[in-house]
């Protein structure tokens, strides 16, 4: 289940440069002019996880397959996009399809890089994007309010009345210049707006693209951004997208180590970004481990064993009988499936078992 995170932002903030750094299957064009990215680029990305490397070391399989995410590099947005300015309609259609948003914001000064919005202002840049998404969402909500109001007011459909009240709350919230994800709707309430695929309901991760000098400490721009998103309970990741792109060009591990040492890094910043985006989507990983293959599988937090089995094959869910489960820590402690079983650490779980992050699993099924 390759879920998508869309990389968005104003023109020339470093979106395509970040995409080039983060993607291991595609390269986006990164150039210094507006609307360089027109059609969205899609890249499949391995989710960095040291646990799969440890399992590979213990099992020595024929092959190892990490879990993945998709990152989408979407055209730069400009003020007025909700009314079709620039590539607004295309941008908004593309972003509607992703599961989460990675919002890249420029937090560095460089006179050589074009900027139409005046002095560097990360909070103002964030507000431009937010406003355009809110206006588009407001348009969608108002249309559904108009459709739902008559049914709600006649009183013949209790469901319509509840739906209308939720829609009105959303409308008022958007009119105040706030994002739907801040409204605190319950899972049941979100059903009323599920068909609208609202842009401001999507979870967001902010990337503060800083200069080299600010790589470890941030700067006044990134700190202003962090302060501005506190109400959203959103994470801000400080990166230098240019440095990240350079790291991905290095193939020799020794060269990478030297590069890390030069910049005082222990790992690429994009590893933090990928892990954070994975967590933002409320995802966890379980593993299957055998001589033929060690593999990581992506599921949502809270999924039960049959659902987890379905990502391998739908027949596994339909004919689910039981799951053999070893926690990752126990697998590593005892060094093998056989040793974990001998020490009573292999559990037999049924249909109601909620899978934990890091479980090493084997499914029994019959169809």
148 is in an annotated binding site: no
* Tokens 């020490």, located at residue: 343
Question: Residue 360's domain is classified under what CATH number?
Answer: 3.10.20.30
Of 199, 81, 200, 196, nearest to 141 by C-alpha is 196
The answer to whether position 100 is within a domain reads yes
The answer to whether position 72 is within a domain reads yes
The answer to whether position 234 is within a domain reads yes
pTM, 2 dp: 0.82
Q: At which of 148, 169, 200 does a domain end?
A: 200
In 3-state terms, what secondary structure has residue 288? strand
Calpha distance 206→219 (Å, rounded)? 15
Q: At which of 214, 246, 279 does a domain end?
A: 279
Buried b (16+ CB within 10 A) or exposed e, 163-174: bbebbebbbebb
Strand-pair category, 347-349 with 320-326: antiparallel
pLDDT single digits (tens) 108-136:
988 777 777 778 899 999 998 898 889 98
The answer to whether position 361 is within a domain reads yes
Question: Residue 24's domain is classified under what CATH number?
Answer: 3.40.50.300
Calpha distance 230→351 (Å, rounded)? 40
14 is in an annotated binding site: yes
How many Cα atoms within 13 Å fall on the side-chain side of residue 113? 16
Same domain, 150 and 98: no
The answer to whether position 62 is within a domain reads no
The total of structural domains in the chain comes to: 3
Same domain, 105 and 134: no
The answer to whether position 58 is within a domain reads no
List, for the chain, all residue ranges whose pLDDT scores fall below the cut of 70. 1-2, 24-40, 75-91, 155-156
pLDDT score at 21:
81
Same domain, 92 and 236: yes
pLDDT score at 238:
94
pLDDT score at 75:
65
13 is in an annotated binding site: yes
Same domain, 97 and 162: no
Same domain, 217 and 357: no
Of 233, 223, 235, nearest to 273 by C-alpha is 235
136 is in an annotated binding site: no
Same domain, 91 and 44: yes
The torsion angle over the Cα atoms of residues 215, 216, 217 and 219, rounded to 10 degrees, is 10
* Tokens 């910049």, located at residue: 263
288 is in an annotated binding site: no
The answer to whether position 90 is within a domain reads yes
| HEC string for 294-312 | EEEEEEECCCEHHHHHHCC
pLDDT single digits (tens) 256-282:
889 999 999 988 888 888 888 888 888
356 is in an annotated binding site: no
Say what percent of the chain tops pLDDT 90. 50
Same domain, 87 and 226: yes
Dihedral angle sign, alpha carbons of residues 56, 57, 58, 59: positive
Strand order in the sheet with 41-46: 41-46, 68-73, 4-8, 100-107, 204-210, 236-239
pLDDT score at 277:
87
Q: For residue 167, give Cα distances in angstroms to 26, 35, 83, 150, 151.
A: 40, 34, 22, 13, 13
Calpha distance 14→5 (Å, rounded)? 16
Enumerate the β-bridge partners of residue 4. Answer: 70
In degrees and rounded to multiples of 5, residue 208 shows phi and psi of -90, 105
As a whole number of Å, the end-to-end CA separation of the chain is 23
Contacts of 230 (CB under 8 A, 6+ apart): none
Same domain, 194 and 216: no
The answer to whether position 286 is within a domain reads no
- Alpha carbon 54 to chain centroid, angstroms: 25
Same domain, 315 and 180: no
Same domain, 212 and 147: no
Q: At which of 168, 200, 232 does a domain end?
A: 200
Same domain, 72 and 159: no
What's 39's DSSP letter? S
Domain around 188? 129-200
pLDDT score at 24:
54
Same domain, 183 and 255: no
């Amino acid at each position: 289940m390759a879920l998508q995170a869309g990389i968005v932002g104003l023109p020339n903030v470093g979106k395509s440069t970040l995409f080039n750094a983060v993607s291991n299957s595609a390269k986006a064009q990164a150039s210094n002019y507006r609307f360089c990215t027109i059609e969205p680029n899609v890249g499949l990305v391995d989710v960095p996880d040291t646990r799969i490397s440890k399992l590979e070391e213990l099992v020595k399989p024929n092959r190892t397959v990490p879990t993945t995410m998709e990152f989408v590099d979407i055209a730069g947005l400009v003020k007025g996009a909700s009314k079709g300015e620039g590539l607004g309609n295309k941008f908004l259609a593309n972003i509607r399809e992703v599961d989460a948003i990675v919002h890249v914001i420029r937090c560095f000064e460089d006179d050589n890089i074009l900027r139409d919005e005046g002095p560097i202002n990360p909070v103002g840049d964030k507000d431009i994007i937010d406003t355009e998404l809110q206006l588009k969402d407001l348009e969608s909500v108002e249309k559904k309010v108009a459709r739902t109001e008559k049914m709600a007011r006649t009183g013949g459909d209790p469901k319509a009345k509840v739906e209308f009240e939720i829609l009105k709350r959303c409308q008022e919230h958007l009119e105040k210049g706030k994002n739907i994800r801040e409204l605190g709707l319950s899972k049941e309430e979100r059903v009323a707006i599920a068909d609208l695929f609202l842009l401001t309901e999507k979870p967001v991760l902010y990337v503060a693209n800083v200069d080299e000098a600010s790589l470890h400490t941030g700067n006044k721009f990134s700190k202003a951004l962090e302060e501005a998103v506190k109400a959203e309970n959103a994470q801000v990741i400080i990166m230098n997208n240019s440095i990240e792109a350079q790291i991905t060009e290095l193939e020799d591990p020794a060269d990478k180590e030297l590069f890390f040492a030069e910049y005082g890094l222990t790992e690429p910043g994009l590893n933090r970004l990928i892990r954070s985006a994975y967590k933002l989507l409320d995802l966890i990983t379980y593993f299957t481990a055998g001589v033929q293959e060690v593999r990581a599988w992506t599921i949502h937090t809270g999924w039960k064993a049959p659902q987890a089995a379905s990502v391998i094959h739908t027949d596994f869910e339909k004919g689910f009988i039981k799951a053999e489960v070893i926690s990752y820590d126990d697998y590593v402690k005892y060094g093998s499936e056989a040793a974990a079983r001998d020490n009573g650490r292999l559990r037999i779980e049924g249909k109601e078992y909620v899978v934990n992050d890091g479980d090493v699993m084997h499914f029994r099924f019959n169809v």
